[in-house]
Amino acid sequence: MTETPQAPLNPDDLAALREASTATITTQLFKHGLRNTFLAGLACVTSGTPRMVGEAFTLRYIPAREDVDTLDVYDDYDHPQRAAIEQVGPGQVLVMDCRGQGRAASAGNILLTRLSVRGAAGLITDGTLRDIGEIERLPLPVYAGGSSAMTNLALHHAVDLQVPIGCAGVAVYPGDVLVGDTDGVVCIPRHLVAVIAQQARDQERLETFITERVAAGAPLRGTYPADAETLRAYEESRFTSSLHD
């Protein structure tokens, strides 16, 4: 069966998501009935990198077996792990399903360097990585569950590319959008990207106004959540601001 190509993502939506926190995005997804969208337990490995926003390119691992997963499998340049690195396109995030198994690394610095050079938007694994000291300096947003020096072949067998996976307990489908910040990573179903982007932008603007009021001494009652009076003041501030633009 031939799959219908996914429509390109709107750059304006991606820009809006780049300005929204994962906290805001998870709140908006919660309003749409989606409660399990945050990839808990992962932390950003690379410091000083930009916010991560990109569409998912998935790689699935199963447990390794000693008679199959030997070092010479990497002589095959079509090995699924290597193939994934070479197929991830600009603006995509490589998402690895490692079953939460961290005793062996899912990748290392050379592979992530190649990802970075290819223009990938980031890498996410619910397993671990090795060469962390080198990876920390890459200009690539990288999220992982920790570090391990052991080669991935000890516990991981790469089997599938671009299939639905589970990562850190969250379902991730190829083409979904991943957003990462200092809190972690959230997965947005592709069909909701446009509406979540707009709602997240609106929430960020309102909460900036609320934060300024609280910092100026306003009590939580009537301010957070905003009552009718606070919302009216917010709309007036937006109108006044627009007159000066």
Is 131 flagged in the annotation as binding?
A: yes
Cα-based distances in Å from 175 to 178, 187, 231, 238: 9, 10, 36, 35
Is 108 flagged in the annotation as binding?
A: yes
Q: Given the structure tokens 């905003």, which residue do they identify? A: 226
Is 130 flagged in the annotation as binding?
A: yes
Is 165 flagged in the annotation as binding?
A: no
Is 155 flagged in the annotation as binding?
A: no
- How much is the pTM? 0.93
Judged by DSSP in three states, 141 sits in coil
Is 111 flagged in the annotation as binding?
A: yes
Domain ranges in the chain are 35-188, 196-243
Residue 138 per-residue DSSP state: S
CB 165 within 8 A of CB 93: no
- The mean pLDDT value of the chain amounts to 95
CB 125 within 8 A of CB 107: yes
- pLDDT tens, residue by residue, 134-189: 999 999 999 999 999 999 999 999 999 999 999 999 999 999 999 999 999 999 99
> Any idea which fold 35-188 has?
Glucose Oxidase; domain 1 (3.50.30)
- pLDDT tens, residue by residue, 67-76: 999 999 988 8
